[in-house]
């Protein structure tokens, strides 16, 4: 990947891009498999990623899941940064989003979805970044323009992963309930308070919750399988 003509090294935590044969990347492929299986029972193509509170790893999960989905041959995947208050997908993927993105598309710039989407280097993943933090998020997230963009995305991509704000501090994630097919809620091991997780789930319609992803788990069992089966996950 290049930025301003110079190579950019991807974050080592983006394992579905940097170490696709690793044990860690395999966990995202397992998540992809479960989404694909659930998609045979219900419409499950536009998936919002949220968490109870900030710093639970939702953006890394969103990016890695999008990367895992994009590795399927012929799969068309779009990652949208809809965390308008604290957008971070572009930074995480080392994209230059200064001139276009979701913020511009929602705040006056005309044109089809393709005008604002960027390809991610040597992958088949496309990204609709948010190039700057926004004010007036309620109006933007409930605007006909966003509905139009999501409708375009549904018609053009097999999967759309939407990184959204944490659901307890602000209402933004819940404003997308009519546009997405469901939510994956990220839970950070030994970090996400149980009470706040419960409150987050109460703010979502039960049928809209696809499932929980238990993040940052370093229990001994994980290490056991990594050491004994690591030979199968080397490049």
DSSP annotation string for 116-176: T-EE-TTSSEEEE---S--S-HHHHHTSHHHHHHHHHHHHH-SEEEEE---TTT-STGGGG
The answer to whether position 61 is within a domain reads yes
Distance CA 171, CA 104 (A): 22
Domain that holds residue 98: 44-219
Mean pLDDT, all residues of the chain: 87
pLDDT at 5: 35
The CATH number of residue 159's host domain is 3.40.50.300
**Tokens at 215, concatenated:** 């993040």
**Tokens at 31, concatenated:** 């998540």
3-state secondary structure of 7: strand
The answer to whether position 231 is within a domain reads no
Residue with the bigger pLDDT between 96 and 33: it is 33
H or E segment and range at residue 186: strand 182-188
| Residue 224 predicted with pLDDT over 80 | no
Among candidates 122, 120, 123, 126, which has minimal Cα distance to 156? 126
- Number of folded domains in the chain? 1
The answer to whether position 232 is within a domain reads no
- Per the CB < 8 A criterion, the answer to whether 45 and 158 are in contact is yes
Task: Kindly report the pTM of this predicted structure.
Answer: 0.88
Report the pLDDT averaged over residues 51-71: 94
The answer to whether position 31 is within a domain reads no
Angle at 181 between CA 178 and CA 187, to 5 degrees: 105
The answer to whether position 212 is within a domain reads yes
* Per-residue pLDDT reduced to its tens digit, 124-166: 899 999 998 999 999 999 999 999 999 999 999 999 999 999 9
Report the pLDDT averaged over residues 174-187: 96
The answer to whether position 214 is within a domain reads yes
**Tokens at 108, concatenated:** 């006056």
Residue with the bigger pLDDT between 97 and 109: it is 109
Confidence band of 51 (pLDDT split at 50, 70, 90): very high
The answer to whether position 12 is within a domain reads no
| Residue 209 predicted with pLDDT over 60 | yes
Confidence band of 232 (pLDDT split at 50, 70, 90): very low
| Residue 61 predicted with pLDDT over 90 | yes
- Per the CB < 8 A criterion, the answer to whether 78 and 150 are in contact is no
The answer to whether position 55 is within a domain reads yes
């Amino acid at each position: 990947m290049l930025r301003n003509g110079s190579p950019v090294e991807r974050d080592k935590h983006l394992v579905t891009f940097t170490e696709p044969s690793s044990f860690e990347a395999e966990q995202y492929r397992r998540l992809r498999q479960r989404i694909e299986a659930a998609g045979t029972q219900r419409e499950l193509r536009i998936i919002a990623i949220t968490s109870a509170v900030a710093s639970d790893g939702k953006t890394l999960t969103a990016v890695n899941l999008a990367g895992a989905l994009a590795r399927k041959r012929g799969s068309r995947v779009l990652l949208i940064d809809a965390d308008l208050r604290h957008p971070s997908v572009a930074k995480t993927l080392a994209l230059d989003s200064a001139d276009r993105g979701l913020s511009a598309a929602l705040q006056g710039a005309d044109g089809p979805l393709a005008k604002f989407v960027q390809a991610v280097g040597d992958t088949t993943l496309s990204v609709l970044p948010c190039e700057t933090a926004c004010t007036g998020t309620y109006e933007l997230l409930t605007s006909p323009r966003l509905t139009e963009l999501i409708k375009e995305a549904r018609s053009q991509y097999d999967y759309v992963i939407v990184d959204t704000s944490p659901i307890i501090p602000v209402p933004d994630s819940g404003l997308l309930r009519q546009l997405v097919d469901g939510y994956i809620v990220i839970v950070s091991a030994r970090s996400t308070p149980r009470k706040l997780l419960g409150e987050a789930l109460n703010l979502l319609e039960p049928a809209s919750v696809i499932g929980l992803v238990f993040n940052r788990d370093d229990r001994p069992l994980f290490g056991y399988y990594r050491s004994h089966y690591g030979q199968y996950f080397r490049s």
